[in-house]
Structure 1
Amino acid sequence: MEIITGAGAWSPPAAGDWTEHLRTPDLSVGTYCIPAGGVDGQSPHTEDEIYVVTAGRAKIVTPDATADVGPGTVVFVPAGEPHRFTDVTEDLALLVVFGPAYGSRAR
């Protein structure tokens, strides 16, 4: 067992905006933060992904849908699906789980 301290907690974004807290071959867990008014510059990932919104408000946009997100929202994004957070009206903190671990599949 391991307690993952600080995962999903808001902190001002640094370069890259993503902080990885745990990594195994099968999954990785981290925090992704976007400040209010900020821009999400991510590209589609080669791994499946789950976002849990722990703070803030925004929209998530994919080619097929747009949805409002806020604390408690859980979003699944399959590998390869373009997605982006837009209209960030409150500092956004996301607990992120990748399966398998982030960046482990060849692009």
Structure 2
Amino acid sequence: MEIIDSGHFRPGPDGSPDYAEHLSVPALSFGTYSLPAGSADEQSPHLQDEVYVVTRGRARFTSGGRTVEVGPGTSLFVPAREEHRFHDITEDLVALVFFAPAYSGVPAPDDLA
């Protein structure tokens, strides 16, 4: 067993969005994504399926041509290679992020996104 400290707001040193990985095994990885109010989420599609669970804050989220309001308790599934992003972040946002298989840090090639 491993106890993981997660869900706390931790923006990057310059106040930008920050992803902190907490666990990585071949089949799964898990981290915390912190997005300050008013920031821009400029992530690229990933090669992995992804689940977000918002634990703090308010924003909008667009993926697969659909936009939804998100807040604490919202869970989102994004299939591999799908464009997606948080936007209109009105309160500092924290989301638990689960990747399967484990996140490689390599964005999906443009021709596969």
- TM-score if structure 2 supplies the norm length? 0.86
Instruction: Please give the alpha-carbon distance, in whole angstroms, between the structure 1 residues aligned to 2:96 and 2:23.
Output: 12
Partner of 2:73: 72
- Alignment CA distance shift 1:25-1:61 (3 Å): same
Give the distance between the partners of 2:78 and 2:84, measured in 1 at CA: 8
Distance 2:58 2:107 in 1: 32
> SS at the partner of 1:44?
coil
For 1:42-61, what aligned pairs fall within 5 Å after superposition? 42-61=43-62
Aligned-pair CA distance for 1:18: 0.7
- Equivalent residues of 1:13, 1:35 under 8 A apart: no
Structure 2: gaps (5+ residues): 109-113
Taking only aligned residues, the RMSD between alpha carbons, in angstroms, comes to: 1.8
Q: Conserved in 2, the CA contact under 8 Å of 1:47 and 1:105?
A: no
Shift of 1:105: 7.6
Equivalent positions of 1:28-107 (< 5 A) are 28-103=29-104, 107=108
Deviation at 1:64, TM superposition (A): 1.8
* C-alpha spacing 1:104/1:13, structure 2 compared with 1 (3 Å): closer
Q: Write the distance in 1 (CA, Å) between the matches of 2:49 and 2:55.
A: 19
1:9, CA displacement in angstroms?
A: 1.6
Give the deviation of 1:103 after TM superposition.
1.3
Runs of 5+ unmatched residues, structure 1: none
TM-score, normalization by structure 1? 0.91
Distance 2:93 2:12 in 1: 10
Alpha-carbon distance in structure 2 between the residues aligned to 1:32 and 1:106: 16
